Structures are given as structure tokens and as C-alpha cells.
Amino acid sequence: MNKDQELAILAKAAADLGNASYLGGWLKSIASELERDLRSDIIPVITLAEARQQAEHILATARNNSERHHNQVTSYADQLLTDAKAESARVLAAAKKALLSAADSL
């Protein structure tokens, strides 16, 4: 059987099933994609279950990356806050020292 014969069977199946069936409309909607792949010698290999599994994997990876980035940013922000408090305490101590020194010289 050649590609044209296979495509004819696919078109006939879609037409016979019709748009009111579960598969008829779907077959019509993917017919051009299937024809392109078939003519390019690309065999459709991914199933709906495999596509769902790949989507779930991509989503899990994105969630993990998001959590990791959130934790890194939170840690960085906490360190900035700690450093700012330390610098503030240092400036306050220096200001008190300068004021006391100025008061002693009066």
C-alpha cells in the first residue's frame, strides 16, 4: 500500500464517521498534519497519554525550578536585610560616638 492509498483510507474514514462522531471531526482536523508527516516520512509516534505524560513532566520541572528560584531569592533577600541591619547599627554607633565626642568638647 502506498501513501496516497493510506491517505484515501483516512479521508474515507473521516467522511464515513462524520462530524457527529467522536473521531470523524478529529480525523478531519488532523488530516493535513497527518498528510504532511506521512509525505515527509514522519510516522506519528506520540499518543495522547505520552503527550499528557510529557506535559506533566514539563509542569513538574517548571514547578521545581520556580520553587528553587523562590528559595534562592528569599535567601538573598534575607542576607540583604541582615547586611542592612548590621550597616545601620554600625552607622548608628558611629553617630553616637561622634555626638558624644562633640558633647565632650563643649
Q: Is 31 exposed, middle or buried (0-12, 13-18, 19+ CB in 10 A)?
A: middle
Residues in CB range of 46: below 8 A, 6 or more apart: 54
pLDDT confidence of residue 85 = 98
Separation of alpha carbons 59 and 62, rounded Å: 5
The CA-based angle 5-7-11, given to 5 degrees, is 115
pLDDT confidence of residue 33 = 87
pLDDT confidence of residue 69 = 97
Give, for all 106 residues of the chain, the pLDDT tens digit: 999 999 999 999 999 999 889 899 888 988 888 888 888 888 777 777 888 898 999 999 999 999 999 999 999 999 999 999 999 999 999 999 999 999 988 8
pLDDT confidence of residue 19 = 87
Residues in CB range of 11: below 8 A, 6 or more apart: 31
